Amino acid sequence: MAKPIEKMGADEILNVSKKLFYGGFCLLPFLWVYNVLYIWPVRHRSDLSPQIRHYLLMSGILATLLFIIFSTWFGIFVNHRLSWGATGDLLTVVLVKGA
């Protein structure tokens, strides 16, 4: 069973935060959100490295930036797909139900 974050040492917390931050670059951006939510309760402990604050800040910024980019793309795609003709059809996945 995993150890609660409150019982981890400073080095373990830094290691977890670093792994979650770099894991977000492996096409898993939800790890950035998880990093912020998981480490947030212990961010003010006196024994923690300043690097943890850096990983939390960058994880939050990158998660927010990616959310804005994906939301913008989704809005553009939904509103303009039909006017793109064949290109819009190629970008669309349609699952045909029944025959």
pTM, full prediction: 0.81
pLDDT of amino acid 11: 93
Q: How many CA atoms lie within 13 Å of 85's alpha carbon, on the beta-carbon side?
A: 1
Average pLDDT over residues 61-75: 96
pLDDT digits (tens, 9 = 90+) for 24-52: 999 889 999 999 999 999 989 999 999 99
pLDDT at 98 over 80: no
C-alpha to C-alpha distance for 59 and 53, rounded to whole angstroms: 10
pLDDT of amino acid 22: 96
Rg (CA), the chain: 20
pLDDT at 96 over 90: no
